Structure 1
C-alpha cells in the first residue's frame, strides 16, 4: 500500500550540538553548552541561550493567537465545511454500486454522477479557501514571533550574547526562522486539513454502521504505539541536530572571520578538522533522524494493513448477514482507504512538527529572556567625568582580569590606555561603556553611578567605537541618522566635515543618497571608520571610547583616522585603547595597565621622564624609527604593510608568524553591537601572543630590552613568553583576549 510519502528525507535542519545522542541529550528548557575554541583540548564550555519548555512554547503561541481569533475560527469553519462535503463521495459511490447490483439501468446513474462532480468542485473550493486562511493565520503569527524575537534579541545584555557566541544567535534567527516558516507555509494547512478529514471520516464510518468504526479503530493501537516510539526517539535527535547546526555555524564564522590569523599561524589544517568534526556531528544526527523516520513509516504500513483487513472482513460479515448492502460495505472500505493519506500526512507532518517545535522553542526561549533592566527615567550625566573605584572583573571565576582599578578622568580629558595583551584595557573600556557589569567596585559617569543610570542612561552618556564598524545596508544618510534620527542634511554634512569625510562622501555616485553596505557601494576600512566617527559627532555623547578604532587601517589611513578622531573628541571626554604610540603620546594623559592593575599614569612627558615601562616602550619605538627593522629594535608596526616583528635588544628575533598583519587580525577588538560575539579568543589559539595589538608587541619587546637593568623583574622575559608569564592570563579572558 503505497502512500506516496518520502521516507528518505533527513530531518531538515532540526537541532544542534555534537553531544552523545539519545537519552543523554539535555531535555528542552535546559541551557546547553558548546565548545568553541580552536584548540579542543582547551575549549571552555559556552553557555548557549535558553530553550523554552513545551508548556512555555504553547503559552506563547496561545498568546499570539489571541488577537486573531476571528481569522482562526473562519479558517477552521471553512475547512470543516469543505471536509464534510467531501465525505459525501464515499456514500455516493456506494449508492452507485447498489444501483449496478440491482440492475436499475444506466439512467439511474446520472444523478449520482452529477452529485459527485458538484461535491468535488465544492470540496476543492472550500479546501483551497480554508488552506489559504490557515496559511494567512500562520504567516501572521510567524511575523509577530519574528518581530518579538528580533526586538528581544536586540535588547539582550551584550555580555549574555557574548557568552552564547554569535553562532547560536545566528542559527536561531536564520535556520530556526526558516524551519518554522516552511512549516507554516506547507505543513500547517495540510495538517489542519488532514486532522479534520480523519475526525469527520470516523464519524462517517459510525453513520454507516458502528461496527465499521470499531473495525477501523483496530489500527489505532498500532498507530499510537508507532507515534510514541517515534516521538521518544525523534525529539532528542532533532533538538541535538539544531544545536549541532548552531555549533557548525559558529565554527564557520570563527574560522572565516579570522582567516588571516588562521593562515598566519598555519592553523589551516586544525580549523579544517574542527569544521569537519562539527559537520560530521550534524551529518550523523541527520542520518540518525532518517533511520527513525524510516522505522516510523514501516510501522504505519502495518497499521494500515490491519485496519483495512478488519473493515473488509466486517463488511463481508455484515453483507452475508444482510445487515448492510454491498454498496454500504463498499462505502465503508472507501472511507477507510481515504484515511490512508490524511493519517499518513498528519503523522508524517509530526516529523516537520518536531523540527518546527524545536525551532519554535529556541525562538520563544530568547523571546522570553528579560532584556536589559534599569530605571525608565534615568538621570542624564551632568558632565563627562568618569570615576572608577576599586573596579574588579572576571570572565572566569577565580581568574580576575581587573583588580582594584582606580581611575579618575576629568570632563573633556583624553586618556590613552596602554598595556600588554591581557592587561585589561578593552575590558576596562567595556565596563565603562556598560557592556559588562563589574564584579567589584563602582563606576560613576558624570557623578552618577552606572547602577542608577541603567543601560539606557549609560548609552546616552557613552558611545563606544570599536575596530570593527558595521555599515548598515541602505542610503549613507540613513546610516548616519542612526545616531540622530531627526538630523537634517546640513547637520549630516557638518558632522562629515568635522571628521574630514565630506570630500569622499561627495565623490560617491549619489553623495549622501548612495546605497552602502550589503548589496551597495562597498566602503573601505578607513571610510567605515569615518562613518562611525561622524555618528559619534551626531550622537554628541559626553564620553566617547575608541577601542583600537584605527587598527584596521594602514599606516597612512591610521594617521588620517587619528586626526579625525581628535576632531570628533573635541568637547567631550575620550578614552582611547591605543595601539600606536604616537596616538598615545597626543593624549592628555597615558594610563599603563599590567595584569589588570594600573601601574603608571601621567602625561607622555612625565612617563618618559620617569623611566618606567612606558619610557622603555617609547625608547624602543624611537630606536626602531631611527634604525629600522635591521637594527635589532622594535619597528613601528603602524599598519598591515609593516613586515617586521618585535626583536629583542640583543638582536635575537622573537618573531611570531603573522604578527606584522594589521589589526584586522585582532579578535581582540570590541565587536560592534550587531556582531557582539562573532570573534572570541576561543577562535584564535594565538590570541594571547604578541602581534594582536601593536603596542602590546612593542611593550613586550621593550621589557626584554630592559632585562639588564633588572628594574622590572616581570618584564625580563622574551615576547614569546610574555603571555604565559601570567598563569591563566589567556584563560581568564575567554571573551576579550583583545586586552
Structure 2
C-alpha cells in the first residue's frame, strides 16, 4: 500500500492497550463464575500431572535399591491414575476456557456489529469499505482462532510453568535457582520480540484492509475499469498492496525464527544448570538420585509449556492487534436519538441554501447550491458525471455533512434533526441494493418489522412486483440472497422499491436506481419508481433522461452548480445545457 493512498483514507480508530484491556475486563465481568471454575479445574489437573515426575523419581530409587518388581506395582498404578485424572481435568478445564472465550467473543462481535451498523456512512466512506470488512472478517477470524486454540493451550501452559517451579522449590530450592538461570534469556527474548511483533502485526492488519479495499473497488467497478481502460493501473495497485501485505508477513516469519532460536539457547542453559546442580547435590549426598531425576524431568517438562506460552505470544500479538481494531470501532460514540421534544418535519419539503461541499480541501464538488422542493413534488437531478448530483443527494439524505450552507427538511434544519432524525424523514435507494440471505418476506420486513403478509403483498403490488414474487417456488417464503434463489437486477431493485413503500418516509431519493437494469428493465423500474413515489417528495438522480422527462421539474447541475431548472419541455425549448443532453441522448437512441 502506498503511503499517499493510506494518508487519503481516515482509517477507523484502533483502541489503545488500556482501552482494549478495559473493554476485555468489561466483557469478562458477567462471566466471573465460569472463569473461576475454568481456572480451578485447570489448577487441579496441572497439579495432579506434576506428581508424574516424583513418581518416576521414586521408581528410579527403587531400581537403584534393587527392591524388586513387586515394589514397582504401586508407583506404576499411581502413574496410571495420575495420567487419567490429569487428562480428565485438562479436558474439562480446556472446554470451560474455550466456552468462556467463545462467549466473550460472541459478545464482542455483537457489540462490534451493532456499533458498525450505526456508524455514519460518511465515516465508513472516509475509511474505505475494506477497512471495515477486514475487521469484521479477518480480525474476527484471528481472534476466533486464538480463542479456540491458543487461549486453552496458553492457560494450561501458564499454570504448568507456575506449579512446576513450585514443585522444584519443594524438591530443593537449589534446583529452582538453577532453572532461574534461563529466565533472563526468556525475558530478553520477549522484550526483543514483543515491540517488533506489535508493529508488524498491526501494520499487516492495515495492509490487509487496504488490499481488501482495493479488491472491492476494482471488482465492484469492473465495468468502469474496463470502459476507461484502467485495468493496468488497477492491476498495479493490487500488486503493490498485495506485495506490501506479503512483505509484512515475511518480516513476521523472520521474526518468529529469531524468537525460537533464542528459546533454544535458554533451554540449553537451563537444562545444563539443572543437571550440573543435580550432580553436585547427589555427589554430596544432599539429595538422592530419584530427586535429581525428578528435578531434571520437571525442567524437561517445562520445555513445551514455556515454548508454547512464549510462542503463543505470537498469536496473542496478532489477536491483540485484531482485538484493538474491533474495540476501536465498538467504542465509537453512537448516534444520539432525537429528544422527545425535538422538532419534527411538518411535511416532505426540502430546502437547500448556499450548500457547498468538498471531499478534499480545495476541490469543491458543490458550490453555493440553492434548491427548493415542494412537498409531494418529484424533481430530477441531471448532469454529466462528476456534476455533483449524487453528492447533493447524499447531503440531503444526511450521509454527509455539508462544508457550508444548510439543508432543511419539512421546515427543520437537518442539524437539529440529527442523523437519526434525517434517516426517519429520508430514504435513499441507490443502484447498489443488497438482498439479505433468508426468506424474501423477512428481507422486506427490514423496512417495517411488524408488517403482515398482506401489507407485504400490498407493497409489492404497488411497485408491480407481486406477480413475479408469486411465481417463486415458495412465494414470500422463498429463500433469497446468498445460497438461495437468485434474483435478477430488476427484481432486486423491485424489492428495494417495495421496502420504500413499507418504510413510508415523507421524502425519497432514488440515486440512479434503474441504471443497472438494462433498457427493458429500466422502463419497468421507472414505472415502479413513479408508483412508489406517489404521496411523497421525490428526488431522482437521473441516469436515463426519459426518467427525468417524467418528473415535475428538472434541475441541471454542472461542475457543482445549478445551471438550469424547469420542466422538461421548458428546458428543451430553452436550448441550454439540458437541451444539449437531450439532443445527444435522442441521437444515440436513433443510432441504435
Q: Normalised by the size of structure 2, how large is the TM-score?
A: 0.97
SS at match of 2:539: strand
Equivalent residue in structure 1 for 2:329, among 346, 361, 366: 366
Match for residue 290 of structure 1?
253
Equivalent residue in structure 2 for 1:549, among 513, 531, 536: 513
Matched, 1:70 2:33: yes
Structure 1, residues 611-630: CA drift from partner, whole Å, max 9, x if none? Answer: 322233334444555xx33x
Matched, 1:165 2:131: no
Matched, 1:222 2:172: no
Equivalent residue in structure 1 for 2:219, among 256, 259, 263: 256
Match for residue 527 of structure 2?
563
The alignment's C-alpha RMSD in Å is 1.5
Spell out the pairing of 1:280-359 with structure 2 (5 A cutoff): 280-359=243-322
Shift of 1:372: 2.5
Shift of 1:102: 1.8
Equivalent residue in structure 2 for 1:612, among 576, 579, 587: 576
Spell out the pairing of 1:192-591 with structure 2 (5 A cutoff): 192-377=155-340, 378-591=342-555
- 8 Å CA contact retained: 1:18, 1:244: no
- Range 385-394 or range 543-552, more displaced: 385-394
Structure 1, residues 444-470: CA drift from partner, whole Å, max 9, x if none? Answer: 111111122112211111110111111
Shift of 1:243: 1.3
Question: Cα 1:86–1:622, aligned 2, differ >3 Å: closer, same or farther?
Answer: closer
Equivalent residue in structure 1 for 2:96, among 128, 133, 140: 133
Shift of 1:108: 1.7
Spell out the pairing of 1:138-153 with structure 2 (5 A cutoff): 138-153=101-116
Distance in 1 of aligned mates of 2:282 and 2:586: 108
Distance in 2 of aligned mates of 1:446 and 1:320: 96
Spell out the pairing of 1:669-680 with structure 2 (5 A cutoff): none
Shift of 1:605: 2.3
SS at match of 1:523: coil
- 8 Å CA contact retained: 1:18, 1:240: no
Question: Cα 1:34–1:145, aligned 2, differ >3 Å: closer, same or farther?
Answer: farther
- Range 489-498 or range 376-385, more displaced: 376-385
Shift of 1:364: 0.7
Shift of 1:34: 4.3
SS at match of 1:219: helix
Distance in 2 of aligned mates of 1:436 and 1:303: 57
Shift of 1:249: 1.4
Shift of 1:379: 4.0
Distance in 1 of aligned mates of 2:177 and 2:265: 18
Distance in 1 of aligned mates of 2:14 and 2:405: 33
Which structure: greater helix fraction? 2
Moved over 3 A (4+): 376-380, 619-625
Q: Normalised by the size of structure 1, how large is the TM-score?
A: 0.78
Question: What residue ranges of structure 2 are gaps of 5+ in the alignment?
Answer: none
Distance in 2 of aligned mates of 1:504 and 1:359: 45
Structure 1, residues 228-281: CA drift from partner, whole Å, max 9, x if none? Answer: 111132221111111111111112212211222222333333322222222122
SS at match of 1:442: strand
Distance in 2 of aligned mates of 1:450 and 1:56: 33
SS at match of 1:218: helix
Equivalent residue in structure 2 for 1:95, among 53, 58, 82: 58
Structure 1, residues 374-430: CA drift from partner, whole Å, max 9, x if none? Answer: 524344322111111111111111222112111111110010111122221111110
Question: Cα 1:617–1:279, aligned 2, differ >3 Å: closer, same or farther?
Answer: closer
SS at match of 2:515: coil
Question: Cα 1:105–1:618, aligned 2, differ >3 Å: closer, same or farther?
Answer: closer
Structure 1, residues 493-552: CA drift from partner, whole Å, max 9, x if none? Answer: 111111111111111111111111111111111111111111111111110001111111
Match for residue 726 of structure 1?
none
SS at match of 2:8: coil
Matched, 1:189 2:165: no
